[in-house]
Homo-oligomer: A and B are copies of this chain.
Amino acid sequence: MINVTFLPSNNVVQIPVGSTILQAASAAGVQVESTCGGKGTCGKCKVQVPLENPSQTSQVSVIETKFLSSSELAAGWVLACQHILTQDTVIKLQDQKDAYRRKTDFVGRANATIAPSVRKYPVKLSKPSVEDQTPDWERLLAVLPVTGIEFNRTAAASLPKIIRQGNFQVTVVLDGNRLLTVESGDTSKRCFGVAMDIGTTTVVVYLMELSSGIVITSGALTNPQQVFGADVISRITHAARGPGQLQELQEKVIDGLNMIVHRLCQESGIGREEIYQAVVVGNTTMAHLFLGIDPTYLAPAPFIPVFREFVEIKASEIGLAILGTGTVRVLPNVAGYVGSDTVGVMLAAEVDRLPGVSLIVDIGTNGEIVLCGKDRILTCSAAAGPAFEGAEIKFGMRAAEGAIEGVRITEDVELDIIAGGKPRGICGSGLIDAIAEMFKAGVIGPTGRFASGPAQLDKLPFLVRERLRKTERASEFVLVWGKETASAEDIVLSQKDIREMQLAKGAIMAGIMILVREMGVTPQEIDRVLLAGAFGNYIRKESAVGIGLLPSLSLEKIKTIGNAAGDGAKMALLSMEERARANSLARRAEHMELSTRKEFQEEFMKGLDFKRVD
């Protein structure tokens, strides 16, 4: 195993000798731009192996000479998908901006506010004497410029020794006017926090320096609650069995987060006691489970959460492995299926500051949809089902190595495979692409039915027509012939698969249409569409518009905003103002419960057809 360090994030990962940089980046959770999935056809995955690093002398591939100029090669630039790693290597990413700064790209703000509530005060105390028997705690408070500080038992517990070890020089850590801890000596230079994004599938932790707003390092892990089921309903079902099961789910996710925090601390030489604050986002169910709060009644109608407000607790209360007295803040939820992750997205996208009308869509099992404009913020959650995540689709799979993520149909079918290699299945963005291309090519009609009859079939190119076949039960379309797949089995899309996608995109579009109508605008009046989340990052806009998953707008109005939920968590971590804004956004948001709207069924039926929505 070798260690690979990615700059500027300082993310370190251990991988086997012989891995490519792209594989290392994927393992480290570092995003390297690549549209061909590592096949060496897009040339976008440029990274720099600094010259002092001997590893850069490894031989240059033919593909690299095609995409890199000789001066680039001389400066150590390589293609991440081509460069094989044989020893410990430091790699510099093309985009010098870290994830946090990157988020500001899409909103056009130079930088988000950095005004953390956690602050450090180095102070020198006078020494006690029989003439001045002031207790240690009062002695400390007397020299602090902040008043109204309440007694903190935990901080007081070891205070005498901390004061005397530092020879009466200490550093006080305050979060607002809450005293978190006292450290010996002057430690004012070190002040850290974590932003946490708890997804149903993946949990991500960003370790940040609070004073500068820099992401020092980050890490991700599959949500360990997965053992109780992939979706929120199965988690809720498990939690509903009893307090023991609820606790089990809470412990799972907190253990996972703690594992990441532990790793990040080791990587960066930061102690967990130096992490003074955590800000957490997640969907409403994840927020309940993280806090150990019974989510039972989120599952059945009328989908009642226990809470939706901003929650602030001590880390030790739930066993989160940062400073025990550190503050854990969970951003507010809007409703049972519009959680603090969506509030994080709203915060990062600054929906309250965008002119005109903005549509924000975060597509997953539930599509959270936000429409803002005319001084209103409307939200809804459309139950898209798991089709976009590849579930319920015969050859569906998660966006992992071997997944078809791009499809083009001309004379025949052309594919983009994640990480290159032989295809193993198809992921969500690939499905949308496939269906859009099949629709464009005439393989399926607007109703989703496969072409049949000579009039329709004759229009198809020969090689494409060959792929359309009838089985005993139904029709299907061969995306990849067995000879080219990892399993040697044909990868096909069945009529049922097409139906699943119709249901999914119909639900999303119905949600969009109901919000649009509620606001009293037309889809064409939408000034921008922001696609949040990993899925949004990979979706081909033309395809999404082509099948009517998104309104038919000029493509430059549609932008991807990456993990905006995580960005929102980072902003809230760095600024009290941003937390206040998150609160106000959540309160201002008007939630539309789709299941109670009679027009939902109607819109849903309309949304099933493949067609552009103007």
Contacts and interface: CB of A to CB of B under 8 A. Distances in A.
A472 interface: no
A293 interface: yes
A231 B131 CA distance: 26
A160 B130 contact: no
Given A135-B308, A136-B307, A306-B137, A157 B301 contact: no
B151 A317 contact: no
A255 interface: no
Interface in A41-76: none
Residue of A161, A246, A293, A336 ringed by the most chain B CB atoms within 10 A: A293
Contacts of A157: 246, 291-294
Nearest to A128: B304
A136 B301 contact: no
A135 B294 contact: no
Contact of A305 (B135, B292, B312): B135
A603 to B, nearest CB: 17
A138 B136 CA distance: 41
A156 interface: yes
A288 to B, nearest CB: 9
Contacts of A301: 130
Interface string A128-169: 111111111110000000000001010011111100100000
Residue of A128, A161, A307, A595 ringed by the most chain B CB atoms within 10 A: A307
Nearest to A314: B317
A11 B213 CA distance: 62
Interface of A: 128-138, 151, 153, 156-161, 164, 243, 246, 291-294, 296-297, 301-309, 311-313, 317-318, 335-336, 591, 593, 595-596
Nearest to A316: B317
A160 B236 CA distance: 13
A130 B296 contact: no
A299 to B, nearest CB: 11
Contacts of A131: 596
Given A128-B304, A138-B309, 8 more contacts: A130-B301, A130-B302, A133-B336, A134-B304, A136-B306, A151-B312, A153-B292, A161-B296
Contacts of A313: 153
Contacts of A243: 158
A153 B305 contact: no
A302 B157 CA distance: 19
A335 B133 contact: yes
A151 B596 CA distance: 29
A303 B159 contact: no
Number of copies: 2
Contact of A130 (B161, B246, B294, B593): B593
A209 to B, nearest CB: 28
B335 A294 contact: no
A302 B133 contact: yes
Contacts of A593: 130, 133
Contacts of A297: 128, 136, 160, 164
Contact of A311 (B130, B153, B293): B153
A296 B151 contact: no
Contacts of A128: 297, 302, 304
A305 to B, nearest CB: 5
Residue of A153, A164, A294, A317 ringed by the most chain B CB atoms within 10 A: A153
Given A133-B335, A153-B313, A335-B133, A158 B305 contact: no
Nearest to A297: B160
Residue of A134, A246, A305 ringed by the most chain B CB atoms within 10 A: A305
Nearest to A597: B130
11 contacts: A128-B302, A128-B304, A130-B301, A130-B593, A137-B309, A153-B291, A153-B292, A156-B291, A160-B294, A160-B304, A161-B296
A128 B306 CA distance: 12
A138 B292 contact: no
Contacts of A164: 297
A596 B302 CA distance: 71
A583 B454 CA distance: 94
A293 B137 CA distance: 11
Contacts of A308: 135, 138
Given A291-B153, A294-B158, A303 B137 contact: no
A307 B304 CA distance: 45
Contacts of A307: 135-138, 151, 156
Contacts of A306: 135-137, 156, 159-160
Nearest to A129: B302
Given A153-B311, A153-B317, A317-B153, A133 B292 contact: no
7 closest Cβ contacts across the A-B interface? A130-B302, A130-B596, A137-B307, A135-B305, A128-B304, A136-B306, A157-B293
